[in-house]
Structure 1
Amino acid sequence: MPETVAADLSRVTESLQMLAPRWNVWVLMTLAEQPLRYSDIKTRLPWLVDGQLHPKLRKLIDAGMVERAALDRRNVLYGLSARGKAVLPVLPELAHWARTHLEKHTVLDAVTGQRVPKAVPQAQDIEDTLTLLAPRHATAILWTLQARGASSAKAIAASVMPDSSLSVIYQPLKRLAEDGLITRDRYRDGHVELTAAGRNLAPVYRALSAWAAGRPLAEAGDHPVWGPAPAPSPVTTAGPGVWLTTQPRHPAPAPRPTQTVWKPGDLFSHTPPARPITPAPAGGRTR
Protein backbone atom coordinates (compact mmCIF):
# COMPACT_ATOMS: atom_id res chain seq x y z
CA MET A 1 0.00 0.00 0.00
CA PRO A 2 1.50 3.40 -0.96
CA GLU A 3 2.62 5.56 1.97
CA THR A 4 0.06 8.27 1.21
CA VAL A 5 -2.76 5.73 1.20
CA ALA A 6 -1.46 4.09 4.38
CA ALA A 7 -1.40 7.50 6.09
CA ASP A 8 -4.93 8.20 4.87
CA LEU A 9 -6.11 4.82 6.17
CA SER A 10 -4.52 5.51 9.54
CA ARG A 11 -6.30 8.87 9.83
CA VAL A 12 -9.66 7.36 8.85
CA THR A 13 -9.25 4.50 11.33
CA GLU A 14 -8.43 6.97 14.10
CA SER A 15 -11.45 9.09 13.17
CA LEU A 16 -13.73 6.06 13.35
CA GLN A 17 -12.45 5.34 16.86
CA MET A 18 -13.39 8.89 17.86
CA LEU A 19 -16.92 8.68 16.47
CA ALA A 20 -17.87 5.07 17.14
CA PRO A 21 -18.25 4.87 20.96
CA ARG A 22 -21.88 4.43 22.00
CA TRP A 23 -23.86 7.71 22.15
CA ASN A 24 -21.03 9.89 20.81
CA VAL A 25 -22.99 10.69 17.66
CA TRP A 26 -26.12 11.44 19.68
CA VAL A 27 -24.22 13.95 21.80
CA LEU A 28 -22.66 15.59 18.75
CA MET A 29 -26.04 15.89 17.04
CA THR A 30 -27.60 17.30 20.20
CA LEU A 31 -25.03 20.11 20.07
CA ALA A 32 -25.26 20.58 16.30
CA GLU A 33 -27.49 23.65 16.30
CA GLN A 34 -26.17 25.59 19.29
CA PRO A 35 -24.14 25.28 22.52
CA LEU A 36 -26.14 23.95 25.47
CA ARG A 37 -25.92 23.82 29.24
CA TYR A 38 -25.30 20.43 30.81
CA SER A 39 -28.87 20.33 32.12
CA ASP A 40 -30.23 20.98 28.62
CA ILE A 41 -28.16 18.14 27.19
CA LYS A 42 -29.50 15.83 29.93
CA THR A 43 -33.05 16.84 29.04
CA ARG A 44 -32.50 15.94 25.39
CA LEU A 45 -30.69 12.68 26.18
CA PRO A 46 -32.60 11.57 29.29
CA TRP A 47 -31.40 7.96 29.17
CA LEU A 48 -27.80 9.05 29.82
CA VAL A 49 -27.24 9.42 33.57
CA ASP A 50 -24.54 11.69 34.99
CA GLY A 51 -22.14 8.77 35.25
CA GLN A 52 -22.44 8.30 31.48
CA LEU A 53 -22.97 11.79 30.09
CA HIS A 54 -20.24 13.64 31.97
CA PRO A 55 -17.43 11.20 31.00
CA LYS A 56 -18.78 11.20 27.44
CA LEU A 57 -18.53 14.99 27.20
CA ARG A 58 -15.07 14.96 28.76
CA LYS A 59 -13.80 12.44 26.21
CA LEU A 60 -15.29 14.40 23.31
CA ILE A 61 -13.57 17.52 24.65
CA ASP A 62 -10.27 15.62 24.89
CA ALA A 63 -10.78 14.44 21.30
CA GLY A 64 -11.21 18.03 20.14
CA MET A 65 -14.82 17.54 19.04
CA VAL A 66 -16.56 19.52 21.80
CA GLU A 67 -15.63 22.74 23.61
CA ARG A 68 -16.54 23.77 27.16
CA ALA A 69 -17.04 27.49 27.75
CA ALA A 70 -17.44 28.75 31.34
CA LEU A 71 -19.10 32.14 30.96
CA ASP A 72 -19.33 32.46 34.74
CA ARG A 73 -19.52 30.19 37.77
CA ARG A 74 -23.05 29.00 37.03
CA ASN A 75 -23.13 29.38 33.28
CA VAL A 76 -21.17 26.66 31.48
CA LEU A 77 -21.93 25.86 27.86
CA TYR A 78 -20.93 22.85 25.77
CA GLY A 79 -20.71 23.29 22.02
CA LEU A 80 -19.09 21.77 18.96
CA SER A 81 -15.53 22.76 18.18
CA ALA A 82 -14.50 23.59 14.62
CA ARG A 83 -13.60 19.92 14.15
CA GLY A 84 -16.93 18.84 15.58
CA LYS A 85 -18.79 21.14 13.20
CA ALA A 86 -16.72 19.93 10.27
CA VAL A 87 -17.92 16.35 10.75
CA LEU A 88 -21.61 17.28 10.40
CA PRO A 89 -21.64 17.10 6.56
CA VAL A 90 -20.02 13.65 6.78
CA LEU A 91 -22.72 12.09 8.96
CA PRO A 92 -25.47 11.96 6.30
CA GLU A 93 -23.31 9.59 4.24
CA LEU A 94 -23.12 7.20 7.20
CA ALA A 95 -26.87 7.47 7.76
CA HIS A 96 -27.65 6.95 4.09
CA TRP A 97 -25.56 3.78 3.88
CA ALA A 98 -27.37 2.30 6.88
CA ARG A 99 -30.81 3.17 5.48
CA THR A 100 -29.88 1.56 2.18
CA HIS A 101 -28.06 -1.55 3.32
CA LEU A 102 -29.23 -2.46 6.83
CA GLU A 103 -32.63 -4.01 7.34
CA LYS A 104 -34.99 -2.96 10.10
CA HIS A 105 -37.76 -4.79 11.91
CA THR A 106 -41.11 -4.30 10.23
CA VAL A 107 -44.32 -3.13 11.89
CA LEU A 108 -47.93 -3.16 10.78
CA ASP A 109 -49.04 0.11 9.19
CA ALA A 110 -52.36 1.14 10.77
CA VAL A 111 -53.52 2.82 7.54
CA THR A 112 -52.50 0.36 4.82
CA GLY A 113 -52.48 -2.81 6.88
CA GLN A 114 -49.13 -3.70 5.35
CA ARG A 115 -45.85 -4.30 7.12
CA VAL A 116 -43.36 -1.44 6.76
CA PRO A 117 -39.83 -0.87 8.11
CA LYS A 118 -39.88 0.45 11.66
CA ALA A 119 -38.70 4.05 11.99
CA VAL A 120 -35.13 4.53 13.22
CA PRO A 121 -33.56 7.89 14.13
CA GLN A 122 -30.84 9.01 11.76
CA ALA A 123 -28.43 9.26 14.70
CA GLN A 124 -29.00 5.53 15.19
CA ASP A 125 -28.41 4.86 11.49
CA ILE A 126 -25.07 6.65 11.77
CA GLU A 127 -24.10 4.71 14.88
CA ASP A 128 -25.05 1.41 13.25
CA THR A 129 -22.74 2.08 10.30
CA LEU A 130 -19.91 3.06 12.64
CA THR A 131 -20.41 -0.16 14.60
CA LEU A 132 -19.60 -2.18 11.48
CA LEU A 133 -16.58 -0.13 10.38
CA ALA A 134 -14.84 0.59 13.68
CA PRO A 135 -13.73 -2.90 14.86
CA ARG A 136 -9.99 -3.50 14.69
CA HIS A 137 -8.73 -4.31 11.17
CA ALA A 138 -12.23 -3.99 9.62
CA THR A 139 -11.56 -0.81 7.66
CA ALA A 140 -8.04 -1.91 6.69
CA ILE A 141 -9.44 -5.16 5.25
CA LEU A 142 -12.17 -3.33 3.34
CA TRP A 143 -9.65 -0.88 1.86
CA THR A 144 -7.34 -3.75 0.88
CA LEU A 145 -10.13 -5.61 -0.92
CA GLN A 146 -11.27 -2.44 -2.66
CA ALA A 147 -7.72 -1.80 -3.90
CA ARG A 148 -6.72 -5.40 -4.76
CA GLY A 149 -10.01 -7.03 -5.67
CA ALA A 150 -10.70 -10.63 -4.64
CA SER A 151 -7.86 -11.82 -2.41
CA SER A 152 -6.86 -14.78 -0.28
CA ALA A 153 -6.75 -14.58 3.49
CA LYS A 154 -2.96 -14.90 3.28
CA ALA A 155 -2.66 -11.91 0.94
CA ILE A 156 -5.00 -9.81 3.09
CA ALA A 157 -3.09 -10.70 6.25
CA ALA A 158 0.22 -9.79 4.61
CA SER A 159 -1.17 -6.34 3.82
CA VAL A 160 -3.18 -5.64 6.97
CA MET A 161 -1.22 -7.39 9.73
CA PRO A 162 2.17 -8.45 8.35
CA ASP A 163 3.68 -9.08 11.78
CA SER A 164 0.88 -11.33 13.06
CA SER A 165 0.11 -15.00 12.62
CA LEU A 166 -2.07 -15.86 9.61
CA SER A 167 -4.72 -17.29 11.95
CA VAL A 168 -5.40 -13.82 13.40
CA ILE A 169 -7.01 -12.63 10.15
CA TYR A 170 -9.85 -15.15 10.19
CA GLN A 171 -11.90 -13.62 13.02
CA PRO A 172 -12.18 -10.14 11.43
CA LEU A 173 -12.90 -11.78 8.06
CA LYS A 174 -15.67 -13.84 9.65
CA ARG A 175 -17.19 -10.75 11.26
CA LEU A 176 -17.16 -8.80 7.99
CA ALA A 177 -18.79 -11.75 6.22
CA GLU A 178 -21.49 -11.94 8.89
CA ASP A 179 -22.03 -8.20 8.50
CA GLY A 180 -22.57 -8.70 4.77
CA LEU A 181 -19.58 -6.58 3.70
CA ILE A 182 -17.46 -9.35 2.18
CA THR A 183 -18.23 -12.72 0.61
CA ARG A 184 -16.45 -15.69 -0.92
CA ASP A 185 -15.34 -15.24 -4.52
CA ARG A 186 -17.45 -17.70 -6.49
CA TYR A 187 -14.75 -18.12 -9.12
CA ARG A 188 -11.61 -18.39 -6.97
CA ASP A 189 -11.55 -20.87 -4.13
CA GLY A 190 -10.21 -19.47 -0.86
CA HIS A 191 -10.60 -15.86 -1.96
CA VAL A 192 -12.97 -13.21 -0.62
CA GLU A 193 -14.24 -9.99 -2.16
CA LEU A 194 -16.43 -7.03 -1.28
CA THR A 195 -20.18 -7.39 -1.58
CA ALA A 196 -22.29 -4.67 -3.19
CA ALA A 197 -22.85 -3.25 0.31
CA GLY A 198 -19.10 -3.21 0.89
CA ARG A 199 -18.38 -1.49 -2.42
CA ASN A 200 -21.07 1.06 -1.71
CA LEU A 201 -19.10 2.28 1.30
CA ALA A 202 -17.16 4.42 -1.19
CA PRO A 203 -18.99 7.70 -0.40
CA VAL A 204 -18.66 7.00 3.33
CA TYR A 205 -14.91 6.50 3.14
CA ARG A 206 -14.39 9.42 0.76
CA ALA A 207 -16.18 11.70 3.22
CA LEU A 208 -14.34 10.30 6.25
CA SER A 209 -11.02 10.65 4.43
CA ALA A 210 -11.63 14.32 3.71
CA TRP A 211 -12.70 15.08 7.28
CA ALA A 212 -9.83 13.11 8.81
CA ALA A 213 -7.37 15.12 6.71
CA GLY A 214 -8.97 18.42 7.68
CA ARG A 215 -10.32 19.06 4.19
CA PRO A 216 -13.85 20.26 3.39
CA LEU A 217 -16.27 17.65 2.11
CA ALA A 218 -16.30 19.40 -1.26
CA GLU A 219 -12.76 18.07 -1.72
CA ALA A 220 -13.81 14.44 -1.13
CA GLY A 221 -14.17 13.84 -4.87
CA ASP A 222 -11.36 11.63 -6.16
CA HIS A 223 -9.92 9.01 -3.80
CA PRO A 224 -6.98 6.71 -4.64
CA VAL A 225 -8.80 3.66 -3.24
CA TRP A 226 -12.50 4.48 -3.35
CA GLY A 227 -12.53 6.24 -6.69
CA PRO A 228 -14.14 9.44 -7.92
CA ALA A 229 -17.37 10.76 -6.46
CA PRO A 230 -20.40 10.65 -8.79
CA ALA A 231 -21.94 13.84 -10.09
CA PRO A 232 -23.81 15.72 -7.32
CA SER A 233 -27.43 14.77 -6.90
CA PRO A 234 -30.09 16.19 -4.69
CA VAL A 235 -30.06 14.16 -0.33
CA THR A 236 -33.22 12.78 1.25
CA THR A 237 -34.42 14.86 4.12
CA ALA A 238 -35.81 12.70 6.89
CA GLY A 239 -39.31 13.44 8.05
CA PRO A 240 -40.63 13.45 11.60
CA GLY A 241 -39.69 10.39 13.58
CA VAL A 242 -39.27 9.10 17.09
CA TRP A 243 -36.37 8.30 19.40
CA LEU A 244 -35.70 4.59 19.26
CA THR A 245 -33.08 2.22 20.57
CA THR A 246 -30.95 -0.01 18.37
CA GLN A 247 -32.91 -2.00 15.83
CA PRO A 248 -31.95 -5.46 14.55
CA ARG A 249 -30.25 -5.02 11.20
CA HIS A 250 -29.18 -7.28 8.33
CA PRO A 251 -27.00 -5.98 5.49
CA ALA A 252 -29.10 -5.89 2.33
CA PRO A 253 -27.73 -4.29 -0.87
CA ALA A 254 -30.01 -1.75 -2.49
CA PRO A 255 -29.63 1.08 -5.02
CA ARG A 256 -28.63 4.56 -3.86
CA PRO A 257 -31.70 6.85 -3.96
CA THR A 258 -31.99 10.47 -4.94
CA GLN A 259 -30.95 12.84 -2.15
CA THR A 260 -32.10 16.26 -0.99
CA VAL A 261 -30.67 18.91 1.26
CA TRP A 262 -29.85 17.83 4.84
CA LYS A 263 -30.20 19.94 7.97
CA PRO A 264 -28.41 19.09 11.28
CA GLY A 265 -31.63 18.66 13.23
CA ASP A 266 -32.90 16.06 10.77
CA LEU A 267 -30.41 13.49 12.00
CA PHE A 268 -32.57 12.73 15.01
CA SER A 269 -35.54 11.53 13.03
CA HIS A 270 -36.13 9.13 10.22
CA THR A 271 -39.25 7.92 8.48
CA PRO A 272 -39.35 4.42 7.00
CA PRO A 273 -38.15 4.33 3.37
CA ALA A 274 -40.90 3.99 0.80
CA ARG A 275 -38.98 1.33 -1.14
CA PRO A 276 -38.87 -2.29 0.05
CA ILE A 277 -35.50 -3.51 1.31
CA THR A 278 -34.33 -6.81 -0.11
CA PRO A 279 -34.11 -9.51 2.58
CA ALA A 280 -30.54 -10.30 3.57
CA PRO A 281 -29.01 -13.74 3.03
CA ALA A 282 -29.29 -16.19 5.89
CA GLY A 283 -26.63 -15.71 8.51
CA GLY A 284 -26.49 -11.94 8.31
CA ARG A 285 -25.51 -10.11 11.47
CA THR A 286 -28.34 -9.00 13.76
CA ARG A 287 -28.04 -5.91 15.89
Structure 2
Amino acid sequence: MITPRWNMRVLLALSGPPARYTETARKVAWLSNSKVHLVLRNLCDAGLVQRTEHDARHVTYAHTDRATTLLPVLPVIATWAEQYLEPKQPLPAIDQIEDSLTLLTRRHAAPILWTLKIRGETSGRALARTVMPDRNWTNIYPPLRQLVADGLVDTDGTGHPYRLSVSGEGLGRVFGALSAWSAGQPLTQAARHPVWGRQTTAQGSRAWVSHQNRTPAPAARAAVAVGPPTDRTAWNSTDLFSHAVPARPIAALPTGGIRR
Protein backbone atom coordinates (compact mmCIF):
# COMPACT_ATOMS: atom_id res chain seq x y z
CA MET A 1 0.00 0.00 0.00
CA ILE A 2 2.67 2.53 0.97
CA THR A 3 5.87 0.73 0.03
CA PRO A 4 6.15 0.72 -3.80
CA ARG A 5 8.69 3.30 -4.84
CA TRP A 6 7.36 6.84 -5.41
CA ASN A 7 4.08 6.17 -3.60
CA MET A 8 5.05 8.27 -0.59
CA ARG A 9 6.40 11.11 -2.74
CA VAL A 10 3.20 11.37 -4.76
CA LEU A 11 1.13 11.08 -1.57
CA LEU A 12 3.04 13.98 0.00
CA ALA A 13 2.69 15.97 -3.22
CA LEU A 14 -1.07 15.81 -2.67
CA SER A 15 -0.85 17.45 0.76
CA GLY A 16 -3.21 20.39 0.86
CA PRO A 17 -6.43 21.09 -1.04
CA PRO A 18 -7.57 18.84 -3.91
CA ALA A 19 -5.27 19.20 -6.91
CA ARG A 20 -5.52 18.46 -10.60
CA TYR A 21 -3.25 15.94 -12.27
CA THR A 22 -1.05 18.62 -13.84
CA GLU A 23 -0.54 20.32 -10.46
CA THR A 24 0.45 17.02 -8.86
CA ALA A 25 2.74 15.96 -11.72
CA ARG A 26 4.53 19.32 -11.54
CA LYS A 27 5.61 18.55 -7.95
CA VAL A 28 7.18 15.23 -9.02
CA ALA A 29 8.55 16.41 -12.35
CA TRP A 30 11.25 13.69 -12.45
CA LEU A 31 8.54 11.04 -12.92
CA SER A 32 7.13 10.30 -16.34
CA ASN A 33 3.43 10.88 -16.97
CA SER A 34 2.80 7.16 -17.27
CA LYS A 35 4.47 6.57 -13.88
CA VAL A 36 2.47 9.33 -12.18
CA HIS A 37 -0.75 7.87 -13.60
CA LEU A 38 0.21 4.41 -12.34
CA VAL A 39 1.07 5.64 -8.84
CA LEU A 40 -2.14 7.66 -8.58
CA ARG A 41 -4.18 4.65 -9.67
CA ASN A 42 -2.45 2.46 -7.07
CA LEU A 43 -3.05 5.02 -4.32
CA CYS A 44 -6.71 5.28 -5.29
CA ASP A 45 -7.07 1.49 -5.25
CA ALA A 46 -5.40 1.41 -1.81
CA GLY A 47 -7.92 3.89 -0.42
CA LEU A 48 -5.35 6.62 0.24
CA VAL A 49 -6.34 9.00 -2.56
CA GLN A 50 -9.80 10.00 -3.76
CA ARG A 51 -10.34 10.82 -7.43
CA THR A 52 -13.23 13.20 -8.08
CA GLU A 53 -14.61 13.92 -11.55
CA HIS A 54 -16.22 17.36 -11.51
CA ASP A 55 -16.78 17.17 -15.28
CA ALA A 56 -15.11 15.56 -18.28
CA ARG A 57 -12.19 18.02 -18.19
CA HIS A 58 -11.96 18.68 -14.46
CA VAL A 59 -10.60 15.86 -12.28
CA THR A 60 -8.99 16.37 -8.88
CA TYR A 61 -7.09 14.15 -6.47
CA ALA A 62 -7.04 14.49 -2.69
CA HIS A 63 -6.14 12.60 0.46
CA THR A 64 -8.72 10.33 2.00
CA ASP A 65 -9.15 10.17 5.78
CA ARG A 66 -6.96 7.06 5.68
CA ALA A 67 -4.10 9.04 4.17
CA THR A 68 -4.58 11.93 6.58
CA THR A 69 -4.11 9.62 9.57
CA LEU A 70 -0.98 8.17 7.94
CA LEU A 71 0.86 11.50 7.77
CA PRO A 72 1.72 11.64 11.53
CA VAL A 73 3.36 8.20 11.20
CA LEU A 74 5.93 9.42 8.68
CA PRO A 75 7.94 11.57 11.16
CA VAL A 76 8.23 8.49 13.40
CA ILE A 77 9.86 6.58 10.54
CA ALA A 78 12.13 9.52 9.68
CA THR A 79 13.22 9.86 13.31
CA TRP A 80 14.20 6.18 13.47
CA ALA A 81 16.17 6.54 10.22
CA GLU A 82 18.04 9.59 11.50
CA GLN A 83 18.99 7.74 14.67
CA TYR A 84 19.95 4.33 13.33
CA LEU A 85 20.71 4.51 9.61
CA GLU A 86 24.11 5.78 8.55
CA PRO A 87 23.90 7.49 5.15
CA LYS A 88 27.10 8.73 3.55
CA GLN A 89 25.59 12.21 3.41
CA PRO A 90 22.57 13.92 5.00
CA LEU A 91 19.34 12.94 3.27
CA PRO A 92 15.94 14.64 3.07
CA ALA A 93 13.26 13.15 5.29
CA ILE A 94 11.40 11.64 2.33
CA ASP A 95 14.53 9.74 1.27
CA GLN A 96 14.99 8.43 4.81
CA ILE A 97 11.37 7.30 4.91
CA GLU A 98 11.65 5.49 1.58
CA ASP A 99 14.93 3.82 2.59
CA SER A 100 13.43 2.67 5.89
CA LEU A 101 10.33 1.24 4.25
CA THR A 102 12.55 -0.56 1.73
CA LEU A 103 14.40 -2.30 4.58
CA LEU A 104 11.24 -3.26 6.44
CA THR A 105 9.29 -4.54 3.45
CA ARG A 106 11.82 -6.96 2.02
CA ARG A 107 10.35 -10.43 1.71
CA HIS A 108 10.15 -12.20 5.09
CA ALA A 109 11.79 -9.23 6.86
CA ALA A 110 8.81 -8.25 9.03
CA PRO A 111 7.94 -11.83 10.16
CA ILE A 112 11.57 -12.46 11.11
CA LEU A 113 11.84 -9.21 13.07
CA TRP A 114 8.57 -9.86 14.90
CA THR A 115 9.57 -13.43 15.76
CA LEU A 116 12.92 -12.28 17.15
CA LYS A 117 11.17 -9.59 19.19
CA ILE A 118 8.85 -12.17 20.73
CA ARG A 119 11.34 -15.01 21.27
CA GLY A 120 14.63 -13.21 21.76
CA GLU A 121 17.68 -15.15 20.59
CA THR A 122 16.54 -17.85 18.17
CA SER A 123 18.25 -20.30 15.85
CA GLY A 124 17.76 -20.15 12.11
CA ARG A 125 15.93 -23.48 12.10
CA ALA A 126 13.47 -22.30 14.77
CA LEU A 127 12.88 -19.07 12.84
CA ALA A 128 12.18 -21.06 9.67
CA ARG A 129 9.54 -23.18 11.43
CA THR A 130 7.64 -20.00 12.30
CA VAL A 131 8.28 -17.76 9.29
CA MET A 132 8.20 -20.31 6.46
CA PRO A 133 6.85 -23.60 7.86
CA ASP A 134 6.01 -25.05 4.42
CA ARG A 135 9.45 -24.53 2.90
CA ASN A 136 12.91 -25.98 3.40
CA TRP A 137 14.28 -24.45 6.58
CA THR A 138 17.54 -23.41 4.88
CA ASN A 139 15.56 -20.85 2.85
CA ILE A 140 15.53 -18.66 5.97
CA TYR A 141 19.21 -17.76 5.60
CA PRO A 142 19.11 -15.40 2.57
CA PRO A 143 16.65 -12.97 4.24
CA LEU A 144 18.46 -13.41 7.57
CA ARG A 145 21.81 -12.51 6.00
CA GLN A 146 20.18 -9.48 4.38
CA LEU A 147 18.82 -8.31 7.74
CA VAL A 148 22.28 -8.74 9.27
CA ALA A 149 23.77 -6.71 6.41
CA ASP A 150 21.09 -4.05 6.93
CA GLY A 151 22.06 -3.83 10.61
CA LEU A 152 18.69 -4.93 11.98
CA VAL A 153 19.77 -8.39 13.22
CA ASP A 154 22.93 -9.54 15.01
CA THR A 155 24.62 -12.92 15.32
CA ASP A 156 27.96 -14.13 16.66
CA GLY A 157 28.62 -16.21 13.57
CA THR A 158 27.73 -19.45 11.84
CA GLY A 159 25.90 -21.84 14.13
CA HIS A 160 25.02 -19.13 16.66
CA PRO A 161 21.49 -17.83 17.31
CA TYR A 162 20.13 -14.60 15.89
CA ARG A 163 18.82 -11.60 17.83
CA LEU A 164 17.62 -8.08 17.17
CA SER A 165 20.33 -5.45 16.99
CA VAL A 166 20.04 -2.07 18.68
CA SER A 167 18.57 -0.73 15.44
CA GLY A 168 16.12 -3.63 15.32
CA GLU A 169 15.00 -3.02 18.88
CA GLY A 170 14.56 0.64 17.99
CA LEU A 171 11.87 -0.33 15.49
CA GLY A 172 9.36 -0.55 18.32
CA ARG A 173 7.97 2.94 17.70
CA VAL A 174 7.87 2.40 13.93
CA PHE A 175 6.03 -0.93 14.03
CA GLY A 176 3.81 0.31 16.84
CA ALA A 177 2.82 3.41 14.85
CA LEU A 178 2.25 1.47 11.62
CA SER A 179 0.20 -1.16 13.45
CA ALA A 180 -1.95 1.48 15.15
CA TRP A 181 -2.56 3.20 11.81
CA SER A 182 -3.40 -0.04 9.98
CA ALA A 183 -5.87 -0.95 12.74
CA GLY A 184 -7.55 2.44 12.53
CA GLN A 185 -6.44 3.42 16.03
CA PRO A 186 -4.92 6.75 17.09
CA LEU A 187 -1.16 7.08 17.15
CA THR A 188 -1.27 7.29 20.95
CA GLN A 189 -1.99 3.55 21.00
CA ALA A 190 1.41 2.74 19.47
CA ALA A 191 3.09 2.45 22.87
CA ARG A 192 0.51 -0.18 23.90
CA HIS A 193 1.35 -2.58 21.10
CA PRO A 194 1.42 -6.13 22.55
CA VAL A 195 4.76 -6.93 20.90
CA TRP A 196 6.56 -3.66 20.21
CA GLY A 197 4.98 -1.46 22.87
CA ARG A 198 6.55 -0.49 26.17
CA GLN A 199 6.35 -3.09 28.89
CA THR A 200 4.27 -2.04 31.88
CA THR A 201 4.61 -3.47 35.34
CA ALA A 202 1.53 -5.43 36.23
CA GLN A 203 0.00 -4.40 39.51
CA GLY A 204 -0.82 -7.09 41.99
CA SER A 205 -4.49 -7.91 42.39
CA ARG A 206 -6.23 -6.72 45.53
CA ALA A 207 -9.03 -8.48 47.34
CA TRP A 208 -12.43 -7.01 46.54
CA VAL A 209 -14.26 -5.74 49.65
CA SER A 210 -18.00 -5.10 49.41
CA HIS A 211 -18.13 -3.02 52.60
CA GLN A 212 -15.89 -1.60 55.22
CA ASN A 213 -15.25 -3.71 58.28
CA ARG A 214 -17.22 -2.20 61.16
CA THR A 215 -15.31 -4.14 63.81
CA PRO A 216 -12.82 -1.76 65.41
CA ALA A 217 -9.23 -2.71 64.92
CA PRO A 218 -7.43 -4.01 67.99
CA ALA A 219 -5.43 -1.42 69.85
CA ALA A 220 -1.74 -1.47 69.25
CA ARG A 221 0.21 -3.18 71.95
CA ALA A 222 2.44 -0.96 74.03
CA ALA A 223 6.11 -1.36 73.53
CA VAL A 224 7.68 -3.69 76.03
CA ALA A 225 10.07 -1.84 78.28
CA VAL A 226 13.44 -3.40 78.64
CA GLY A 227 14.35 -3.89 82.29
CA PRO A 228 15.32 -6.43 84.89
CA PRO A 229 13.28 -9.64 84.86
CA THR A 230 10.39 -9.77 87.28
CA ASP A 231 9.07 -12.78 89.12
CA ARG A 232 5.47 -13.12 87.82
CA THR A 233 4.47 -16.73 88.13
CA ALA A 234 0.79 -16.03 88.78
CA TRP A 235 -1.64 -15.62 85.91
CA ASN A 236 -3.08 -12.14 85.64
CA SER A 237 -6.50 -12.04 83.98
CA THR A 238 -5.91 -8.50 82.78
CA ASP A 239 -2.67 -9.34 81.03
CA LEU A 240 -3.25 -12.49 79.08
CA PHE A 241 -0.18 -14.66 78.71
CA SER A 242 2.01 -11.84 79.93
CA HIS A 243 3.89 -14.11 82.24
CA ALA A 244 6.49 -16.64 81.29
CA VAL A 245 5.28 -20.21 81.55
CA PRO A 246 7.94 -22.31 83.25
CA ALA A 247 9.03 -25.27 81.20
CA ARG A 248 8.20 -28.65 82.65
CA PRO A 249 11.01 -31.19 82.81
CA ILE A 250 10.55 -34.03 80.35
CA ALA A 251 10.32 -37.34 82.19
CA ALA A 252 12.95 -39.84 81.20
CA LEU A 253 11.69 -42.83 79.26
CA PRO A 254 11.94 -46.11 81.15
CA THR A 255 14.59 -48.53 80.09
CA GLY A 256 13.42 -50.90 77.40
CA GLY A 257 11.46 -48.36 75.41
CA ILE A 258 7.85 -47.31 75.48
CA ARG A 259 5.49 -49.63 77.33
CA ARG A 260 2.63 -51.00 75.23
Tell me which of 181, 199, 206 is aligned to 1:211.
181
Cα deviation per residue 1:244-287 (whole Å; 9 max; x = unaligned)?
Answer: xxxxxxxxxxxxxxxxxxxxxxxxxxxxxxxxxxxxxxxxxxxx
Tell me which of 42, 47, 50 is aligned to 1:59.
42
SS in 2 for 1:228: coil
Deviates more, 1:154-163 or 1:198-207: 154-163
Q: Output the CA distance in 1 between the equivalents of 2:142 and 2:176.
A: 26
Q: Output the CA distance in 1 between the equivalents of 2:80 and 2:198.
A: 17
Deviation at 1:126, TM superposition (A): 0.6
Are the equivalent residues in 2 in contact too, given 1:185–1:193 (CA < 8 A)? no
Q: Which residue identity is paired with 2:18? A: P
SS in 2 for 1:91: helix
Question: Please, which runs of 5 or more residues in structure 2 have no aligned partner?
Answer: 201-260
- The share of aligned pairs that are identical, in percent, is 45
Are the equivalent residues in 2 in contact too, given 1:220–1:229 (CA < 8 A)? no
How does 1:57-206 map onto structure 2 within 5 Å? 57-105=40-88, 118-185=89-156, 189-206=159-176
Q: Output the CA distance in 2 between the equivalents of 1:121 and 1:73.
A: 38
Q: Output the CA distance in 1 between the equivalents of 2:16 and 2:166.
A: 35
| Change in 2 beyond 3 A, CA 1:168/1:223 | same
Higher relative contact order (CA 8 A, sep 6+): 1
Are the equivalent residues in 2 in contact too, given 1:182–1:193 (CA < 8 A)? yes
Q: Which residue identity is paired with 1:164? A: R
Aligned twin of 1:285? none
SS in 1 for 2:71: coil
Question: Please, which runs of 5 or more residues in structure 1 have no aligned partner?
Answer: 1-17, 106-117, 231-287
SS in 1 for 2:16: coil
How high is the TM-score relative to the length of structure 1?
A: 0.67
Q: Output the CA distance in 1 between the equivalents of 2:10 and 2:92.
A: 14
SS in 1 for 2:62: strand
Tell me which of 35, 45, 58 is aligned to 2:28.
45
Cα deviation per residue 1:148-195 (whole Å; 9 max; x = unaligned)?
Answer: 001000111111111111111011101101100001048x95201111
Provide the aligned length of Structure 1 versus Structure 2: 200
Are the equivalent residues in 1 in contact too, given 2:173–2:197 (CA < 8 A)? no
How high is the TM-score relative to the length of structure 2?
A: 0.74
Structure 1 segments (4+ residues) deviating >6 Å: none
Q: Output the CA distance in 1 between the equivalents of 2:109 and 2:93.
A: 23
